[in-house]
A and B are shown apart, each in its own frame.
Chain A
């Protein structure tokens, strides 16, 4: 299950192998940190984050049936704004995180193919081999459909 280490240390993410698609493992001191890292990992699959500027702020209120479902719904929200608004995000803050509900903000800008180095599109975050461990340290895993 060797992945590509992106950020080592107290918080970060790495990619997990899946034959057809890809997975993200993200960790941090708290679940909020791990969820923010998972979002960074998601966007880094789609675009080189260093080419994205922070021009707009977007707020997200996400609810799930449980904390695993919340992770899938959080990433699904982000995937949907890429398709519907062309929004690419490069930084996140989780403002509140209470078990099945979270409020978050993301910063980024609208896709501009002339400036952004786009990578692969993500179709969905799945429930397959999903895991959320509150820790500490918190660690989450999710498989994405590409």
Chain B
């Protein structure tokens, strides 16, 4: 690990400073830790990390087969089981897989679509574009995706992910080249997905959901690395793009719920201690572990199909508003990242290539240039990474690095990270007209229930620029471009 020398005995609560961007949570912070925790943060962020989140970093460190350290990205905050922003890798041979290490929104992720349009092209059509997007992409509680698919077809979606969507006419075959796992994870088994999960999710295919999920139309405000940006199709300041964040809807939530229960007796059965019920885990090679992995892959495929359908509707909407085809508008998919996943990957541990089950719970895979899992068109520059901020500000495009591969199992941050609870945000912003305030900041928003906006306001989040800067300076991802919000659609 690359570290700079630092003064000894420098502490922040239980955290020991390693260097400007790394803090160690030592073995012994709690009983049973097999490895230390390592948190990526600058001193100011490290101070903001709550005790519950640090406890979760330590709890993850007690799970069997964990390698190197229980990691947390700078957007760390309290989750359930794993912290949000948590990364942990377990040996395939004798380590575990944890449903709580993936979370309820299996394969929640972010997609970026480029366009040839500039801010000047879009400005005159802004309100109509916002209205049409709000209509075309359902969001909020109870939103159905408008696809009439049978339960049998749902199984096909679970097996084949974005491929199913492309065959049904949602998008192009080239899109599949720039989705993690090519838009369909191997080993997915619809038989491991309960009838209730299918019942909850199948009507929701093609919808955004609620909470912090959104669809936005930002523009490129700043380019930090023109060569990498160009490789990603980001060609200049003022370029308009489409950006959205959503996951596997009720289907994924139910898969997590079901398998947490299936796995809960595993600790006793396989002889390890579980310090938190939400960390229910099973050896990766056990029957319970494999069943979860196959169900998780199916839910991931559902999420990729969902994002494929949504992207298609975004393209259709642009074509309608601008009177030109999506292809003519240059609307190529840049990439699709998943930030709630467990994946079987090979990493070098103590000098040996080792098969690991890498859990990223609110963390993004960030593979470097040259890695075979990076699509060919990006292999010279590294995998694209997207880090959404809060709706009032900006988001970032980054690229994977060799540093991430060495230190974080090829992972970086996934978002801004909350600092304020929903109710605290509501209290602070009581009586504030956020729609008007956002408009003053140059953002127009279409939202089902404006009263909920306060919960997702800028005040509730860390500044994503700080999170991205720490990852850049620590060398676990490379900053490429900044996107400024312009139109936001949410539930």
Contact B449 A80 (CB under 8 A): no
Which residue from chain A places its CB closest to the CB of B277 in the assembled complex? A127
Contact with A along B415-426 (1 / 0, CB 8 A): 000111111100
Q: A18-B421, A83-B204, A118-B449 in contact; A124/B77 too (CB < 8 A)?
A: no
Contacts of B131 in A (CB 8 A): none
Encode contact with A along B121-157: 1 for CB under 8 Å, 0 otherwise.
0000000000000000000111000000000000000
**Closest B residue to A21 using CB positions:** B422
Kindly state the separation between the CA atoms of A111 and B253 in the bound complex, as whole angstroms.
Answer: 20
A117 close to B (CB within 8 Å): yes
* Contact partners of A99 in chain B: CB under 8 A: none
The reply to whether the CB of A17 lies closer than 8 angstroms to some CB of chain B is: yes
At the interface, yes or no: A8 with Cβ under 8 Å from chain B?
A: no
Rounded to whole angstroms, the CA-CA distance of A2 and B79 in the bound complex is 19
Report B-chain residues with C-beta under 8 Å of the C-beta of A79.
253
Contact, CB under 8 Å: A121 / B278? no
Tell me the residues in window 375-426 of chain B with beta carbons closer than 8 Å to chain A beta carbons: 418-424
A20/B78 in contact, CB under 8 A: yes
Among B199, B210, B257, B449, contact of A124 (Cβ-Cβ < 8 Å)? B257
Name the B residues within 8 Å of A82 (CB-CB). 141-142
Q: Say what secondary structure dominates the interface of chain A.
A: loop
B200 within 8 Å of A by Cβ?
yes
A130 within 8 A of B: yes
We find that the number of chain A residues with CB closer than 8 angstroms to chain B is 37
Interface residues of B in 267-321 (CB under 8 A from A): 276-278, 280
| Cβ-defined contact, A118 with B448, below 8 A | yes
Whole-angstrom distance from the CB of A48 to the nearest CB of chain B?
A: 10
Please determine whether A143 and B104 come into contact, CB atoms closer than 8 angstroms.
no
CB distance from B440 to the nearest CB of A (A): 25
CB-defined contacts of A124 to chain B, threshold 8 Å? 104, 253, 256-257
Q: Given contacts A86-B142, A121-B210, are A19 and B77 in contact (CB under 8 A)?
A: yes
Q: Is B264 an interface residue (CB 8 A)?
A: yes
B residues 153-199 near A (Cβ < 8 Å) are 196, 199
Contact B141 A120, beta carbon cutoff 8 Å: yes
Pairwise interchain contact A18-B250, C-beta atoms closer than 8 A: no
B141 touches A121 (CB 8 A): yes
Over the window 100-112 of chain A, the binary record of Cβ atoms lying under 8 Å from chain B Cβ atoms (1 yes, 0 no) is: 0000000000010
| B141/A123 in contact, CB under 8 A | no
A4 and B423: CB pair below 8 A? yes
Query: A20 and B199: CB pair below 8 A?
Result: no
Contacting pair A120 B80 (CB below 8 A): no
Chain A residues closer than 8 Å to B419, beta-carbon distance: 19
Report yes or no: A117 in contact with B449, Cβ–Cβ below 8 A: yes
Q: How far is the CB of A56 from chain B (nearest CB, A)?
A: 16
Q: Which residues of B contact A129 (CB under 8 A)?
A: 52
Confirm or deny: A59 has a beta carbon within 8 angstroms of a beta carbon on chain B.
no
* A30 contacts B by Cβ under 8 Å: no
Bound CA–CA A123/B299 (angstroms): 14
Q: Does A47 sit at the interface, judged by CB under 8 A? A: yes
- Nearest CB on B from A138, distance (A): 20
Across-interface contacts of A127 in B (CB, < 8 A): 80-81, 260, 276-278, 280
Instruction: Known contacts A4-B423, A65-B264, A123-B105; decide if A118 and B141 are in contact (CB<8 Å).
Output: yes
- Given contacts A20-B77, A130-B277, whether A118 and B140 have CB atoms under 8 Å apart is yes
Can you name 9 extra interface pairs (CB under 8 A) apart from A83-B250, A121-B209? A21-B80, A83-B249, A118-B141, A120-B210, A120-B452, A126-B81, A127-B276, A127-B277, A129-B52
10 pairs, A vs B, C-beta closer than 8 Å: A19-B419, A19-B420, A20-B77, A20-B79, A22-B421, A83-B253, A111-B141, A118-B448, A123-B253, A130-B277
